[in-house]
Structure 1
Amino acid sequence: MKGLILQKNSTESKMAALPSYGLANDAIDPNFNFRRALKDIDDDLTSSDIASLKFLCRDFIPAFKLENAKGSLDVFRQLENKGLLGSNNLMFLTELLYRIQRADLLRKLAWHPDQVSREIERGRAQLNPFRVMLLEVSEELTSRDFDDMKFMAAAYISRNKLESVDNFLSLAIALEQGMKLTSDNVHVLHELLQTQERPDLKDIIQNYEASISSRGRNSKGSPDDGFPPPPMDKTPQHGPPVPEPFQPPQLRPDNQEANLVAMTQNMMGPAQQGYQQMMQQAGRVPGSQVQQTARVAGQQPPEQPQEPPAGLGPAPADLQATIQRELELRLQEERARQREEMPCYRMDRNPRGLAVIVNNLQFFHDPRLPNSRQRLENREGTNVDRDNLIFIFNKLGFEVETRENITHNQLIDLFNQVRYADHSNFDCFAACILSHGSQGQVYGSDSVPVSIRDLAEEIKSTKCPSLGGKPKLFFIQACQGRDEQPGISDIRVDAGQAPGLEGFQETIPNEADFLLSYSTIPGYVSYRSKTQGSWFITKLVETLDNMGDRHDLLSILIKVNEEVGKAIARKGGGEFKQSPAPVATLRKKIFFSFLRDTRKPQVVPRASTVNTAV
């Protein structure tokens, strides 16, 4: 007896009707083969695959039955009950497997991906294009993309419901349930993607919007639409439920002004339309505005109430601005909720604290000092970093003080002054040191190294009680490893020229509430452009400027790591990269609760300028 073989129907049967490649065997009951194939498919499906299957079937199987389905076999039984799956009716299942990118399982049904693709192109697709689009977006999202979208979705979904959302498909379902996302209105997806640079995802959504607009122009539907058109009569149908096709606004060739109004209303999301209707019904949209809209649309203006209902505020001059303000308010509430759930340092005083910027540009050798290094080159480009740091720390609400070209003794004296200063009315302290460096050290302008840990020890709570329990932030733009020979280039390194550097010593003070953000990891150099400033400070300033009031400081520094990691230095035929190294003993998160309006310096380096080749 021949073994179990899955065979396609003949070419003649394919041409006779809607293609349905059945399973046949000349020795075993075809129905047995069919069920055996389903069981084999079930064995190979992952939990993620099953979740995708359930999502694609939401238009055909009731939600509560999908939720109670323990695996794919339960889903298959429901599809059989709906008449969508059988030994001679495999199109629906093959399309499901094709959409979830499990082409390997199609072989168990004796199908090939090219066959499924051809049937879809012929208009035989049965799945809702809306769900197919959402699944495509889901498959392209990274975990970080999803986290950002979930954060933005707090403007549309209640806190209780959002807590149960653990992936994009469940987020889409929650948006559907709240009528924020529908098959003919996916504007909310664009809003959720506003903060992300993912043009590929936006293309998927825009292609779907173009397809539903195309179907909307064919009001009677077409077999080539991919998803079956609604029935022409009111006879009960036993097939799968079909969503109403998208209908574009009715345009009038003789009235361009009316067309503009209709298109504008069509572009508004459900929340905006509902708000506008509420305002019109309550009489809070100016009468002239309502009458003008009705006039250009060729309609009778609605009757205006004599007195507007009490309790409503003044009519918004700009509806879009009103909606935007409401969205920002809800985002602020969500950020406040997150800050309540995680312990955070107090960060609401103005000024927020003292920020000291040490900018060592020029270096000299002092022969009277035995540990004064020779031939430390001047740090051209550091003034760009200084100006950018002044800008960003002013914006973050700090009192900023700068020190230029100070020796090692002056650097120590500076931190002594900070130690004895009164920080009682401040929330934190920040220090930025721009200089040459070696492992665990920075250099004074006299080329003498100073231990970073010794500087940090000066402002511990035992020595500076007014900073007790408050975050102390250090940003170090200096090398932490051996020097590299500079080439004729725009790129320089911030390393001391000392041979035989000692092993890297511990630089974190043995106390809580410190953050030391190094421009590079121990043992490696830190790159700086003579005209554009250093890679690290460039991206630190950019990221704080863009995200300083939206994310906690450690998360921002992780973003800085990512951005600096994109830069490449080419030297001596090789390529070199840099990775910053934030280390912390913080006990709480740091959220900057406000930003000042501050003018940017003339030149703030952009991402493209830090990749200058050596």
Structure 2
Amino acid sequence: MDLTTLASIDDDLDSSEVAALCFLCRDVLSKKGLKKVKDGKDLFKQLDEKDLLSNSCFLYQLLRIIKREDLLSRLQGDVTQTDSIPIVTDYREMLYNLYEDVIEKNLKKMKYLLGDKGVGRGQIELCTTALDVFSLMEDSGLLSRQRLDQLQEILKECDSQLVNTVQKYINGDPGAAQSLVSDSDFIVAASSVLHPVTTATCQDFYTLRNNPRGTCLVINNEHFTGGDLRNRRGTLVDEESLQQVFGKLGFQVVVHSDLTADAIRRVLEDLGKMSFYKADVLVVCVLSHGENECVFGTDGKKVSLRDLRMPFTSARAPTLAGKPKLFFIQACQGSTYQKGVLPCPPRPQDEEARRTSMSLEEDAGPLPAELVAEEADFLMGMATVEECISFRHISKGSIYIQELCKQLLVSAKRKDDLLTTLTRVNREVSKGDYLRHKQMPQPKYTLTKKLVLTEMETEREMEMLKN
């Protein structure tokens, strides 16, 4: 977007409108950066640095929400929603609509009541609008897309109509926040189609309130003594990556190395007998060789995927009922190499590519493609599709686990749900060439809600999740 257009828009925005735009951008810009914004030009510069002005879609949303339709005609070029351009969430738009309806009398009462929530009076007195109050509540861990109870409690003392606005949003009423739709041809679809995660209601998400969030069990089989199975060089890199990532995501990580088939079953049975009353999520990662519908113990004996899951079904582990149970399996699903379809003949392999290919190995052995329907809230993240090989680098770790860890951290910052994360893993892994072959991961699930895993960065944030 050209600077002249942005400058003309800035000239017609007053300070309260710029403040409102900053609030609407809290999901895509850093708090530190937003504090530096003095006018529209400062805000547009930060949006441009995030590539959010590559077309006019995001700015179009912002101006529409603050009801400056008179400025929309100045937006020239493409205003089509794409995957790379986020939408302003219904949650944030709902808060803006609340702000417009808060009168001065209610603002004073909101500030007074916020003092009873443990927020410092000095910070509260700096709030001059309802948007400032909402921002302070978010920074204090009292308000989020998944936590609206404290906001409702405060609004009940101010104005019942304001409470109704929040309740409509929770119930999924599209009237609580306008959908991203225009009578013109600028926007190609409603927000619920453009980005399902951001338009979902609180009831669509699994609840995360505990610290730690749960256990992440890693079973890492590197050295094999049974059968003709080779040692799995590079798997320690996967183990370290999983420990770091799930540790950041708030899990207590437990690692078991080089387990026989019976030992794998015993570890899982013991874990399933524990109480998960104070846990939100269970994660089990298995790094091993495998065959059809099984993984191998280090003794070369098989453990079926059903044996992996059964200790954690609702009947066997009732305190896990209704909670997500995530399994990530690094193993092949068969002995077949997956071929890629090239639009043109492959280029001659250079020396670096040759060295890389020499460092790739296979984790041979397929895993089952079918989950039992009544086993709700399970997800099986498979390294590859049925019948096909998956690859592991002997010094850098497996292709699937490394990409999974990378994308989990990306999603933690973007607040994407897990299935969106795994779709990106699919895309990135499938792009590569491994020993002149392809690899295509495959998530299979019976999840009933969306799961968003964010980093638990500070002790204060952890305490907020407890309360």
Asked if Structure 1 and Structure 2 have the same fold, meaning a TM-score greater than 0.5 normalized by the shorter chain, the answer is yes
Match of 1:451 in 2: 304
Match of 2:91 in 1: none
Match of 1:95 in 2: none
Seen in structure 2, the aligned counterparts of structure 1 residues 128 and 390 have a Cα distance that, compared at 3 Å, is closer
How is 1:2-21 mapped onto 2 (pairs within 5 angstroms)?
none
How is 1:522-537 mapped onto 2 (pairs within 5 angstroms)?
522-537=386-401
Is the 2:222–2:231 contact (alpha carbons within 8 Å) kept by the matching residues of 1? yes
Mapped pair 1:191 → 2:27? no
Q: Which residue of 329, 343, 354 corresponds with 2:215?
A: 354
Is the 1:437–1:494 contact (alpha carbons within 8 Å) kept by the matching residues of 2? yes
Mapped pair 1:130 → 2:35? no
Whole-angstrom CA distance in 2 between matches of 1:410 and 1:187: 59
Match of 1:556 in 2: 421
Mapped pair 1:406 → 2:406? no
Is the 1:360–1:405 contact (alpha carbons within 8 Å) kept by the matching residues of 2? yes
Is the 1:480–1:525 contact (alpha carbons within 8 Å) kept by the matching residues of 2? yes
Is the 1:153–1:192 contact (alpha carbons within 8 Å) kept by the matching residues of 2? no
Aligned residue type for 1:425: K
* 2:450 alignment partner, SS class: coil
Aligned residue type for 1:130: T
* 1:406 alignment partner, SS class: coil
How is 1:90-169 mapped onto 2 (pairs within 5 angstroms)?
130=5, 155-156=23-24
Seen in structure 2, the aligned counterparts of structure 1 residues 195 and 361 have a Cα distance that, compared at 3 Å, is farther
Match of 1:544 in 2: 408
Q: Which residue of 587, 595, 610 corresponds with 2:448?
A: 587
Query: TM-score, length-normalised on structure 1?
Result: 0.43
Deviations 1:55-82 (A, max 9, x none): x9xxxxxxxxxxxxxxxxxxxxxxxxxx
Q: How far 1:412 moved relative to its partner?
A: 1.0
Aligned-residue RMSD, C-alpha: 4.3
Match of 2:275 in 1: 422
Q: How far 1:417 moved relative to its partner?
A: 0.7
Deviations 1:247-280 (A, max 9, x none): xxxxxxxxxxxxxxxxxxxxxxxxxxxxxxxxxx
* 1:458 alignment partner, SS class: helix
Seen in structure 2, the aligned counterparts of structure 1 residues 455 and 128 have a Cα distance that, compared at 3 Å, is closer
Match of 1:87 in 2: none
Q: How far 1:596 moved relative to its partner?
A: 3.9
Match of 2:178 in 1: none
Whole-angstrom CA distance in 1 between matches of 2:256 and 2:249: 20
Seen in structure 2, the aligned counterparts of structure 1 residues 408 and 507 have a Cα distance that, compared at 3 Å, is farther
Match of 1:520 in 2: 384
Seen in structure 2, the aligned counterparts of structure 1 residues 547 and 506 have a Cα distance that, compared at 3 Å, is closer
Q: How far 1:483 moved relative to its partner?
A: 5.8
Deviations 1:199-222 (A, max 9, x none): x939xxxxxxxxxxxxxxxxxxxx
Match of 1:506 in 2: 370
Whole-angstrom CA distance in 1 between matches of 2:26 and 2:403: 35
Whole-angstrom CA distance in 2 between matches of 1:457 and 1:186: 57
Whole-angstrom CA distance in 2 between matches of 1:334 and 1:538: 29
Mapped pair 1:343 → 2:343? no
Seen in structure 2, the aligned counterparts of structure 1 residues 483 and 362 have a Cα distance that, compared at 3 Å, is farther
Whole-angstrom CA distance in 2 between matches of 1:387 and 1:401: 12
Is the 2:224–2:300 contact (alpha carbons within 8 Å) kept by the matching residues of 1? yes
Q: How far 1:530 moved relative to its partner?
A: 0.7
Match of 1:201 in 2: 54
Residue ranges of structure 1 left out of the alignment (5+ in a row) = 1-55, 57-126, 135-151, 160-179, 203-241, 244-308, 315-321, 366-373, 599-614
Seen in structure 2, the aligned counterparts of structure 1 residues 465 and 311 have a Cα distance that, compared at 3 Å, is closer
Is the 2:337–2:437 contact (alpha carbons within 8 Å) kept by the matching residues of 1? no
* 2:431 alignment partner, SS class: coil
* 1:357 alignment partner, SS class: strand
Q: Which has the larger radius of gyration?
A: 1
Match of 1:468 in 2: 321
Deviations 1:528-570 (A, max 9, x none): 111111111111111222322522222221222222223221x
Query: TM-score, length-normalised on structure 2?
Result: 0.55
Seen in structure 2, the aligned counterparts of structure 1 residues 507 and 441 have a Cα distance that, compared at 3 Å, is farther
Match of 2:360 in 1: 491
Residue ranges of structure 2 left out of the alignment (5+ in a row) = 10-19, 28-36, 56-72, 75-121, 149-197, 339-354, 460-467
Q: Which residue of 181, 204, 225 corresponds with 1:364?
A: 225
* 1:450 alignment partner, SS class: strand
Deviations 1:372-415 (A, max 9, x none): xx321111000000011011111111111111010111111111
Match of 2:240 in 1: 387
Whole-angstrom CA distance in 2 between matches of 1:311 and 1:529: 53
Q: How far 1:429 moved relative to its partner?
A: 1.0
Whole-angstrom CA distance in 2 between matches of 1:492 and 1:389: 20
Whole-angstrom CA distance in 1 between matches of 2:371 and 2:22: 40
Seen in structure 2, the aligned counterparts of structure 1 residues 403 and 419 have a Cα distance that, compared at 3 Å, is same
Seen in structure 2, the aligned counterparts of structure 1 residues 590 and 311 have a Cα distance that, compared at 3 Å, is closer
Q: State the percentage of identical aligned residues.
A: 30
How is 1:241-252 mapped onto 2 (pairs within 5 angstroms)?
none
Seen in structure 2, the aligned counterparts of structure 1 residues 156 and 526 have a Cα distance that, compared at 3 Å, is same
Seen in structure 2, the aligned counterparts of structure 1 residues 153 and 435 have a Cα distance that, compared at 3 Å, is farther
Whole-angstrom CA distance in 2 between matches of 1:399 and 1:158: 30
Q: How far 1:465 moved relative to its partner?
A: 1.1
Aligned residue type for 1:191: Q
Whole-angstrom CA distance in 1 between matches of 2:427 and 2:458: 27
Q: How far 1:482 moved relative to its partner?
A: 0.9
Whole-angstrom CA distance in 1 between matches of 2:299 and 2:25: 59
Match of 1:268 in 2: none
Aligned residue type for 1:451: S
